[in-house]
Amino acid sequence: MGMDFTQAKQRIEQLKAVLWENSRKYYVENAPTMSDYEYDQLMHELEDLEREYPEYATADSPTRRVGSDLESGFAKYPHQYPMLSLGNTYSIGEVEEFAERASKSLEIPFTYCCELKFDGTAICLTYRNGKLFRALTRGDGVVGDDVTANARRIANVPEKLQGEGWPAEFEIRGEVLMPYESFDRLNREREANEDQPFANPRNAASGSLKLQDPEEVAKRGLMCTLYHIPTGQVDYPTHDEALKAAQQWGLPVSDKRRLCKDIDEIEAYIAYWDTARKELPYPTDGIVIKINEMDAQRQLGFTAKSPRWAVAYKFKAEQALTPILSIDYQVGRTGAVTPVANLEPVFLSGTMVKRATLVNEDQMAMLDICEGDWVYVEKGGEIIPKITGVEESKRVPGAKRPPFPKVCPDCGTPLVKSEGEAKWFCPNNDGCPTQIKGKLVHFVSRKAMNVLAGDATVDQLYNLDLVHTPADFYDLRESQLLMLEGWKERSAQRFLDSLRESRNVPFERVLFAIGIRYVGETTARDIARHFGDIDTLAQATKEELIAVPDVGEVVAESLYRYFRDERHLIEIQRLKAAGLQMSVQRQGENVSDALAGKTIVISGNFSVSRDEIKALIEANGGKNSGSVSGKTSFLLAGSKPGPEKIKKAESLGVQILDEEAFRKLLPEGSLPEMPQNDDTELTLF
């Protein structure tokens, strides 16, 4: 690949960081920042590099572990059989290679079962004595979130099985989907309430399944499609026969699968559904090809992450050709200037596309965009539309490249571009109207302060000089709101009630809501827990900031500069006076000193989430650390711990404890009893 060892190591670490971050955004935040295709291409690049440089391949690589959708607020239970991911390909040639490998490896006759690849969120249902016992999300593949109460509110998930012949207890896996009709209705409702609409049905399905209110789940119009019973759970010779039995028991099994005897029939099935899927009422993004015979599946076995007896063929993103009418330059809340093309409207992936991002100046140059060009637009995974190419045969003679602005299109401040940055920024953070409004919208957003206000409300309050900084929200009075166009007593009261409730939002989310550049949700949480309160954070030196795990020089510099600005310090004091949480709240009566003075590093999977383990350590007087050092009291190692952390702990003589030993250090009842998990056989979700 033309790299030396240093370059290869750097690229591998970079790819791992990007893939894990997008995995978190995909599974946890339901807000992916790249298309499935882009993600898969980066994953393939990482796989190739790890093959060429095996000394840099680690057990915690995303090539060997599945993403996690675990969240706090849900009970955690282990899967009886781990839920793995499938190997993805966009190439028919690689499907042919899969079939050829199977033919060479198997000495028994076999067929293929081809199924639609549904674009939803994975679910595992357990039935006990014919009744729905538990529903788990995929989680991290080993442990899942318990969403049983929500699954019961999905219309086609049966509470009781029908017929006969079902085992006393068994698992069946599948996908929770949001049909297009439900998706459109939900987004209309969200826009009417000034909530951010969901980007695509998959995100909407995943977010809906994780709601805390089952009654709200029932309103979302979700559906479930089941497609796999783990080997050994039922006694059928083929995968297809197992699904037919499940269908007879009243379970919602897809009727779109087809048995194929060779690669020609597989390719015909793919070709048919690449077109016919557009008529389906729910989203699909590919075809899953499985070896049908159970004995053949057992012979082929598994890799660390995927079964060798199945592969997923992903449909290429839909593409359309349309002309650029004009280009706008949008300023975000961080000051980043993004070029956006206004297009002749074109129908793509179920919606009418009128605008598409051009990303940044470098991307415009790489695409060689000229005024009036006809461009190819893609919506891979139904994410934000992107321009991927230019049809030069339609270019008007003498067409010129559009000049990228040198000053902010909103406030006129000269733009700046830091070394290593791809985007131009407006540095007028506290004076640029678009940035100010962007920060206000961010502050009231659901994952920040969760105030009942959206873009339209912020625009109205800003334009009338009622709100310019977040603290201004807390000075608003009902009499002021009732004077505004469109405001009634009920809407004013709901808005003020949500402001009052936002005073209970924990410090880590307040820190995220403030909108410091480069400080996202995870970073805000780590910083809040490290420093404990806003005053200690504000006084921290750059060296102290960099000492926070996963905070590098760029983030530290941004934090340091933010708290050296007198305007920001005044704003913090106003927010504090308004009653917002500016320190980490400890659980008074539950705190013990069992771990007082101990610095603990955790690694691996546990019977509860890692966040719960970290909170438990802090509640009992201990301190969490992200890396093993001479100051580490002990390494708490769950299942599948990081080998590098184990190795370093051993080299430094740091004690290594498992979860059982850790439990003995804590007051009785601190953790629920560890459920038993049988890992004797793997299966995919």
Which amino acids are annotated catalytic? 117
Tokens of 600: 């603990």
DSSP 168: S
Exposure b/e, 478-503, CB count within 10 A at least 16 = b: eeebeeeeebeeeebeebbebbeebe
| Dihedral angle computed from the Cα positions of residues 67, 70, 75 and 81, in that order, rounded to the nearest 10 degrees | 0
Length of the chain: 685
Using alpha carbons only, give the angle 257, 260, 263 rounded to the nearest 5 degrees. Answer: 125
Three-state SS string over 269-287 comes to HHHHHHHHHHHCCCCEEEE
Tell me phi and psi for residue 207, to 5 degrees: -65, -40
CA distances from residue 228 to 139, 155, 225, 242, 373 in whole angstroms, order as listed: 17, 20, 10, 8, 47
| Dihedral angle computed from the Cα positions of residues 199, 387, 421 and 399, in that order, rounded to the nearest 10 degrees | -150
113 Cβ contact list (under 8 Å, min separation 6): 238, 239, 240, 257, 258, 259, 260, 289, 290, 291, 292
Residue 567 Rama label (left phi>0; alpha psi -120 to 50; beta):
alpha
Q: Would you say 641 and 614 are in contact if contact means Cβ atoms under 8 Å apart?
A: no
DSSP 428: -
* Closest to 117 measured CA to CA, from 388, 296, 313: 313
Residue type for position 586: R
Three-state SS string over 591-647 comes to CCCCCCCCEEEEECECCCCHHHHHHHHHHCCCEEECCCCCCCCEEEECECCCHHHHH
What is the C-alpha separation between 341 and 280, in angstroms, rounded? 30
Tell me phi and psi for residue 188, to 5 degrees: -65, -40
Residue 301 Rama label (left phi>0; alpha psi -120 to 50; beta):
left
Q: Would you say 37 and 380 are in contact if contact means Cβ atoms under 8 Å apart?
A: yes
Q: How many CB atoms lie within 10 A of CB 285?
A: 22
Specify the DSSP element, H or E, that contains 480. Answer: helix 478-482
121 Cβ contact list (under 8 Å, min separation 6): 69, 137, 138, 175, 176, 202, 205, 206, 209
What is the C-alpha separation between 665 and 657, in angstroms, rounded? 10
Q: How many CB atoms lie within 10 A of CB 56?
A: 17
